[in-house]
Amino acid sequence: MRQVVLDTDTLSYKTSNQYSEVSETAQQYYRVFRYFSVTSITVCEAVQGFANNRDTVGVAELAEGFEVLGLGADEAILAAQIFAELRIAGREIWPMDPFNAASQLSISGHW
C-alpha cells in the first residue's frame, strides 16, 4: 500500500461511510500509516460542506488523525500548469482539483 492524499470526494465518502469499500480501504490504510493526508484545499472544501450541513462532528473529526499538507510555490506552479493544460485540451475541471493533484504529485515524487 502506498501513501496517498485524499481528495475531497474520497474524504467525504470516508467520513460518511457511504460506500463500504471506501470505508474498508480507509481502515486498512489507517492501520498502516496511522493518519490520512489531505491538502489545505480539501480541508477548506470539507469544512464548508460540514458547515453548510451544520455538522460539527465532521469538523471535529478532521482535526484528529489527519496530516494537512500546505501548498507551497512549487505546488501552486504545478497546479497552474495542470489547469492550463486541461483547459487547452478542452477539459474543464473544478478549479481546486489541480491543487490536490499537485500535492499528490509532490508527495509521490512524480513531477
**Cross-strand pairs, 68:** 38
Tens digit of pLDDT at every position of the chain (111 positions) = 777 888 888 888 877 778 888 888 988 988 998 888 888 888 888 888 877 877 766 666 666 778 888 888 988 999 999 999 999 999 988 888 888 888 778 777 665
pLDDT reported for residue 84: 94
CATH of the domain at 48: 3.40.50.1010
Domain interval for residue 31: 5-108
Q: What stretches of the chain show up as alpha helix (H) in DSSP?
A: 8-16, 20-33, 40-52, 56-62, 73-88, 97-108
CA distance 111 to 79: 11
Overall pTM > 0.85: no
